[in-house]
Structure 1
Amino acid sequence: MRTAGEETVASCPQCGVEIRTDIRFTTWCAACDWNVDPQGPDEEKRGLGRARRRAAQRYGERLFTELRGGGSGEGSGSRRTLSGSLAYALALAVHGVTVALAAVGVWGLVAGWGSLGMVFGVFFLALAWSLRPRLNRLSDDDRVLSRGEAPELYALIDEVAAAMCTRGVDAVVVDVDANASVTHLGLRRRLLTIGLPLWEVLSPQQRIALLGHELGHFTHGDTRQGMVVGTAWRSLSTWLYYVRPMPNPNVVQAVTNLACIPLRLLITGVRALLDLLTAQSSQRCEYLADGAAAHVGSTEGAVGLMDLFLVTDSVVTTLQRETNGRRMRGRGQTSGQDADDLWEVLAAHMHSIPESEYERQRRVGALRGHSVDASHPPTHLRRRLLLDGTPVPALVTADTDRSERIAGELADLRGTLAREVLRDGYGNV
């Protein structure tokens, strides 16, 4: 075997074809798939997580077939309506339990049972208050960019939203996750969260595709993001927190743990049912949001964005490596100079990933059914659906000057977040 720079040249031990591979990545054979997945599929433990991921794969495959054939992706319209109605009914029932607890608490206060009634009533009112539907709100730790601080970024978001016949967002939060998301704030406000590590490695058109995808969740009505179902899910999570087993229990605590098992099983079952009832509509929304990404950012931009999702592990690995290396060179101390080029180094590494590694990740994704998480369809199917359609040009574009103005608006946050990553370590910010 010989090496040339960062490239290795060898013969495939299985079929004999010449293999050229970047030495930083797995050596594999595109002709026969030798060593395409050296680690093999992850063996997930039994439980709700694995069941959700398998269900996501099944729904994703079925919706892919329907959408590829020109259908609406809804399967049976009545079935989708029934599952959505049942999800809302179940969510309302969860909130109904909270209302009932509050009513019992009020009854305990006014029933005239003296101090016992007061304690009884206060306990149930406090429990109902902790389980109340909680609307999303900004936290003190959120790095919020206002319209006044980032007018060019908001103008781009508004232009993307107008191209999709919807409205923009009311707040933008920037964090260090290699991801992006949207959600509601309160009753009507919209929040966009941009992960700086993801934003920094995308091209201008891929960034527009990302914005189109996220705003697509609003235009296509993601049930899980809605107020009724979303708050019910959070209430159930609070219930599970209350009935979780106590570690290292004494005798009384052990008896309490046993007594809580039926309630814990019931709550887990209700969560699983709510997840099942909303799974297909959530999957469909992801596919449609991908279409929105291509609509505003071009098919090429949306497909490139999808490819980046396959290699986001490299984002995490690179940031961890850079963080550890710079902290060791500085003997645990970091300075502004140490952080100056963190995002540039990350972008340079991601842009240097060869096409052979992207192709390997696509094949691995097809073998394993890779998805961003358990609520998303398989990534390789999302990509294929975009490529199988007629390629579309971008409705919204960002030239060099516009990209530079947006970069200038993010400059202060880029430096702040880079210093925090180096100080605390990536994953701890």
Structure 2
Amino acid sequence: MTETAGTARTVPVAERSCPDCGTTVVGGGQYVSWCAACDWNVDPEARDEEAPGRIERLRRRIARHAGEQLFRELTAGTGPVPGPEATAGPGLAPGAVPTGAVPAPGGAAEGAVPGTAGPESGTGTGARRGGQGGTRSGAARKLALGLASLVHGVTLALFAGGLWLLVACWGRGALPVFGALAIGTAVLLRPRFGSLSKATEHKVVLRRADAPRLFALLDEVAGSVGTTGASAVVVDADTNAGVTTYGPRGHRVLHLGLGLWEILSPQERLALLGHEFGHYSHGDTRRSFVVGNALHSLDTWRHTLAPERPDGLMDLFVNLVTAPPRLLVDGVLALLEHLTLRDAQRAEYRADAAAARVAGTEAAAGLMDRLLVSDGVTGELRRESVAARTRFGGARREDPAEGLWERLAAHAAAVPEHEYERLRRAAERRGHQVDSTHPPTHLRHRRLMCDERAEALVVLTPQRAAEVDAELSGARRTVARELVRG
């Protein structure tokens, strides 16, 4: 893909040799030239993937370490993990994934495949380790629940104390003012059920009556992983997707980013849906009402107590006064995230296994590759938007929104296998993660390779895929027009 995921434009070159080992390099032209034998120039930009902010950098470091540790535990009872040399075939460099190679899904403990043994359900060393891990996870969940309840207790105490100051101390100087501030803060920090209207503001929303075939597909995929489907689908241009809940009854809404959806094959789309719904068929402490809202409250506290850039003595004084509670909030947040990290990452591995079970291992592995090029897809959408607003390409097409998603899909389909392999290796070097709650992407991909191949439980036939596309056609046009208008 041209300039995809950090790749750089290079001048087309004839066959050349690696300056380090002399092997013929791959790539060139639109893609980075690199050596598959010694990894020369595999990551020419060597981008700093660390997110800005001390807390976020700490989150990612902890998540990377925890993901590696959990990966070792999950694979302990399934035999040796395929390493770089184990996956190399004839004529391929160590670490290369052969074109058309089919990785396999996670073990039974992560995929809940009846009749199979996994690292935490079998006997021997793997089972013992799994039992210890289960004990640790259970204790961590209880501690997380207790800490989250304490956070909500502080919110409740603020509300009760503010109400007392407002009522009992009315007319006693500034005390009622402090009471009103305490009540306002408590309202801001209160647990929330989520609102569909706020989540869908300025976005395209589909209901069952609008797209019955799409919702039937969602129900089938959700049923295949042991959960229920969505009540609404929100469509936008993001290169992402997700399922969230709203309302007291926990209705689900699927957020479908066309920037990702449109570059996937039909089976990869099923893998995406299987992964997202898979989060609700396994335990994920961070998605619970109590813990999830506690994390939100702590983030609100951090934003409220964030230091201001000092422009005078008053700003310095305020920053100094708010430093102790800010450090306390940071500490509580770090502790709560640490207690829930293992469950969150285990849920990601299980969701990957659910994706493989629904759509087949090949589709689940293909989805992982598409995640690696998501930055490039986002960049391509941005270029389309800029070109439309500056009238670039106006002679070529009257309506820049027409055919936008087809051009994006063709752009992604043009990425050769050697470029995907380069991105895999570069991601492994960087410890690439989707965000601070996800295990490293290369470990998720490798985890899919640790067991036998899974055949798809659901197959999206060309006819059915066309019917779903037809129901999304209106949303695709609307989102494309909004995108090119900026």
Question: Which bracket does the TM-score occupy, shorter chain normalised?
Answer: over 0.9
Aligned residue type for 1:341? G
Q: How do 1:304-323 and structure 2 match up within 5 A?
A: 304-323=366-385
Q: How do 1:14-53 and structure 2 match up within 5 A?
A: 14-40=20-46, 42=48, 44=50, 47-53=54-60
Aligned residue type for 1:21? G
Distance in 1, Cα, partners of 2:348 & 2:242: 12
Q: 1:269 to 1:407 in 2, by over 3 A?
A: same
Q: How do 1:114-125 and structure 2 match up within 5 A?
A: 114=171, 116=173, 117-125=175-183
| Secondary structure of the structure 2 residue equivalent to 1:235 | helix
| Secondary structure of the structure 2 residue equivalent to 1:362 | helix
| Secondary structure of the structure 2 residue equivalent to 1:26 | strand
1:427 maps to which residue? Answer: none
1:368 maps to which residue? Answer: 430
Q: 1:180 to 1:74 in 2, by over 3 A?
A: farther
1:358 maps to which residue? Answer: 420
2:119 maps to which residue? Answer: 71
Pairing partner for 1:56 from 63, 76, 91: 63
Within the alignment, does 1:297 sit opposite 2:359 as a pair?
A: yes
Q: 1:337 to 1:162 in 2, by over 3 A?
A: same
2:321 maps to which residue? Answer: 259
| Secondary structure of the structure 2 residue equivalent to 1:16 | coil
2:279 maps to which residue? Answer: 217
Aligned residue type for 2:157? A
Distance in 1, Cα, partners of 2:337 & 2:207: 34
- Once the two structures are superposed, what CA deviation does each residue of 1:228-257 show, in whole Å capped at 9, x if it has no partner? 111111111221222222335443333122
Is the CA contact 1:200–1:343 (under 8 Å) kept in the aligned structure 2? yes
- Once the two structures are superposed, what CA deviation does each residue of 1:7-55 show, in whole Å capped at 9, x if it has no partner? 8522222222223425111100112211111122527367222221121
Aligned residue type for 2:252? R
Structure 1: 5+ residue stretches without partners? 425-429
Distance in 2, Cα, partners of 1:263 & 1:74: 38
Distance in 2, Cα, partners of 1:400 & 1:337: 28
What fraction of aligned residue pairs are identical, expressed as a percent? 49
Is the CA contact 2:49–2:432 (under 8 Å) kept in the aligned structure 1? no
| Secondary structure of the structure 2 residue equivalent to 1:337 | coil
Aligned residue type for 2:133? S
Residue 388 of structure 1 deviates from its aligned partner by: 2.1
Structure 2: 5+ residue stretches without partners? 1-10, 78-117, 121-129
Residue 323 of structure 1 deviates from its aligned partner by: 2.3
Within the alignment, does 1:411 sit opposite 2:479 as a pair?
A: no
Within the alignment, does 1:226 sit opposite 2:288 as a pair?
A: yes
Distance in 1, Cα, partners of 2:12 & 2:477: 31
Q: Which runs of 4+ in 1 moved over 6 A?
A: none
Q: How do 1:17-166 and structure 2 match up within 5 A?
A: 17-40=23-46, 42=48, 44=50, 47-68=54-75, 69=77, 70-72=118-120, 76-114=133-171, 116=173, 117-138=175-196, 139=198, 140-166=201-227
- Once the two structures are superposed, what CA deviation does each residue of 1:366-417 show, in whole Å capped at 9, x if it has no partner? 2221111111111111111112211011101111111111111111111111
Is the CA contact 1:221–1:285 (under 8 Å) kept in the aligned structure 2? yes
Residue 329 of structure 1 deviates from its aligned partner by: 2.6
- Once the two structures are superposed, what CA deviation does each residue of 1:70-126 show, in whole Å capped at 9, x if it has no partner? 323685222111111111111111110011011112211332542534333322222
Aligned residue type for 1:111? A
CA RMSD in angstroms comes to: 2.3
Aligned residue type for 2:288? G
- Once the two structures are superposed, what CA deviation does each residue of 1:157-210 show, in whole Å capped at 9, x if it has no partner? 100111122111112111221111111112321121111110000000000011
Tell me the TM-score normalised to structure 2 length.
0.82
Distance in 1, Cα, partners of 2:391 & 2:178: 60
Aligned residue type for 1:10? R
1:288 maps to which residue? Answer: 350
Q: 1:46 to 1:157 in 2, by over 3 A?
A: closer
Is the CA contact 1:12–1:34 (under 8 Å) kept in the aligned structure 2? yes
Corresponding pairs, count: 420
Aligned residue type for 1:56? A
Is the CA contact 1:163–1:395 (under 8 Å) kept in the aligned structure 2? yes
- Once the two structures are superposed, what CA deviation does each residue of 1:334-373 show, in whole Å capped at 9, x if it has no partner? 9972111111111101011000011111111222211111
